[in-house]
Amino acid sequence: MKSTVQNAARTSTMRNSTIVNRDFYDVLWAESHLQRPDRFNTWPLISALLPLAPARLEIGPGLRPRLPIHGTSFVDISPPVIERLTECGGIAVTGGIGDLPFGAGKFELVCAFDVIEHAEDDRRVFGEVSRVLKEGGYFVFSVPLHTRFWTKFDEFVGHVRRYDPADLLALLAAHGLAIEKSAVYGMQPANPLLLDLGVWWLKHHRREAMWCYNKVLMPLGMLIQKRLKFVAGLADTAGVDEIVLVCRKRTGASEEHGVLT
């Protein structure tokens, strides 16, 4: 019975994901400050990859970009994000993750943190990433794990799915992307009561909840974030809420899979 309810909730969210995402994130970013990439625990990884990636793209960064802003290409659906990233020297354009406005093989590095789970057609997303990525290029991304961990919070913030590890591995392989390393990631509280309380405040007192997130919870989270501990291949995902993966596009993947959509 619980599985049926969860599946129904995910189906409802999929039908309304674009509306939910625009509604939630336009409000969030309009009240947020732009954070520097070097403040996140992903920076040691990203900074090591930058010398290999003069052409780089970040998808759906919001105002929490993990790539350096100046000279980086960005795609996001939120006008406040496009405006602020452009003001800071980013090459920011409005667009969706499933239809990237770039030519094939343009980038040595593509990043997508906390965004793929919002896309209804994730096969198209992985296809688009593989298409714009050069052979041997890096794809760094994070996603929430395990269907059984689905909560009201996932639905409210516009998630369409959580990934069971076997399904994620199959998607990557189908689009010529090989995992090099991964690490446990994310700061979502595990306590379901806290999640339910957060959703209630967001629904009934959105302005106050957004203020609390931007002024209190986000700065606190930045202070207590832990250094990422990468392991080769896919990390042990038992009980893990979210994971960050470093993948490379295999040589010959474009020819093997054709135009990936």
Say which range, 12-16, 23-27, 111-115, has the weakest mean pLDDT: 12-16
pLDDT, position 154: 85
- Rounded average pLDDT over 28-44: 82
Say which range, 42-51, 164-173, 208-217, has the weakest mean pLDDT: 208-217
pLDDT band at 197 (very low <50, low <70, confident <90, very high): low
pLDDT band at 13 (very low <50, low <70, confident <90, very high): very low
pLDDT, position 256: 55
Phi, psi of 206 (to 5 degrees): -60, -45
Residue pLDDT, tens place only, 108-167: 999 999 999 999 999 999 999 999 999 999 999 999 999 999 987 788 778 899 999 999
pLDDT, position 137: 98
Residue pLDDT, tens place only, 70-80: 999 999 988 88
pLDDT, position 155: 81
Across-strand partners of 142?
A: 244
Q: Higher pLDDT residue, 198 or 12?
A: 198
All domains of the chain, ordered by start, with CATH?
A: 2-187+225-252 (3.40.50.150)
Residue 31 predicted with pLDDT over 70? no
DSSP string, 165-219: HHHHHHHHHHTTEEEEEEEE-------HHHHHHHHHHHHH-HHHHHHHIIIIIHH
